[in-house]
Structure 1
Amino acid sequence: MLDDVFRPRAARLVTGTMAVVVAAATVLLIALLSGTGVEGWSTADLAGIALVGAAIVWFLWRQATVSATPTAEGLRVRNLATTRTVAWGEIVWVRFGEGRPWVQLDLDDGDTLAVMGVQRSDGERARREAKRLSTLVAVRQRTGRDD
């Protein structure tokens, strides 16, 4: 339970649904435009529509798959644009104060790292997940001397 993957629920539901709708709408649009027989819609135009639809679906898929995965070595954080693994000892603080859209990690080098796998849009569940992440960091940072 403590080592379960952190994933948002509301964002996954919304972006997953939107990805399906955009994919279906793109296919339908291409089918309708290519079947009309109207001059002016070239293969390049239809390919452009397909590429835009694919880019939107990719972006939505990436948003739907944000997560934070605990491993023995550290926390692998998959955000919208990047994936980064931080060692447990690098994490100084877990923050999820009011006004923050997702959990933020303060790192020992002075940097911060957003953890989009825990999002405020999940309400009380997000607060529980932030506490679980904070507990997990504390447990993983304990040494044999407990210092």
Structure 2
Amino acid sequence: MSAPAPQPELPITFRPTRTRVVLLAVGILLFVTLLAIALALPSLSPGERISFIFTGVLFCGVLALLARPKVVAERDGVTVTNLTTVRRLEWPEILKVNLRPGDPWVFLDLADGTSLPVLGIQPGIAKAQAIDDARALRALAETYGTGDHTR
């Protein structure tokens, strides 16, 4: 049996840092490249230049959206920010924190019988960090979900 996860200090934010850095860096690089092409080619019409710049902004925006997921754990609950949604949960609403082998991210089993994906903890390019984060969130859910707020 593994040792219990250490209790992190609250508030704490979990996010896929490496994935976020890669997505934002690629987005900025892509935007700068398309902007440079739009400004460097003299044969482009103003409409074509705007089209290049708009495409760069669009790609950068999509990659920034993909870099958005996070989980913020506080004493009174958890805020899960996924791509386009934000959901606030009280600790007793979280029954279980799951990260099974092969899962793309953590899933929360909720008291209402549903499951909530938590894209802020994903084992993509930082598997060990995601496992540690999932264990920490699980320990917090077990502590605060039972009403034991003494820690």
Distance 1:26 1:82 in 2: 30
1:114 corresponds to 2:117: yes
The aligned runs of 1:38-49 (5 Å cut-off) are: 38=43, 41-49=44-52
1:2/1:136 contact within 8 Å kept: no
**Which residue, 10, 17, 33 being the options, matches 2:18?**
10
Q: Tell me which protein shows more helix as a share of its residues.
A: 1
Distance 1:92 1:43 in 2: 56
Deviation track 1:58-101 (CA, whole Å, cap 9, x = no partner) reads 12122223210013332111111212112212111111001101
Alpha-carbon deviation of 1:49? 2.3
TM-score (norm 1): 0.85
Number of positions where the alignment pairs a residue of Structure 1 with one of Structure 2:
139
User: Who is 1:133 aligned against?
Assistant: 137
2:35/2:52 contact within 8 Å kept: no
SS at match of 1:46: helix
1:77/1:115 contact within 8 Å kept: yes
SS at match of 2:14: coil
User: Who is 2:86 aligned against?
Assistant: 83
SS at match of 1:130: helix
Alpha-carbon deviation of 1:125? 1.4
2:32/2:56 contact within 8 Å kept: no
Name stretches of at least 5 consecutive residues in structure 2 with no aligned partner: 1-7
The runs of at least 4 aligned residues of structure 1 exceeding 6 Å deviation read none
Q: Percent identity?
A: 27
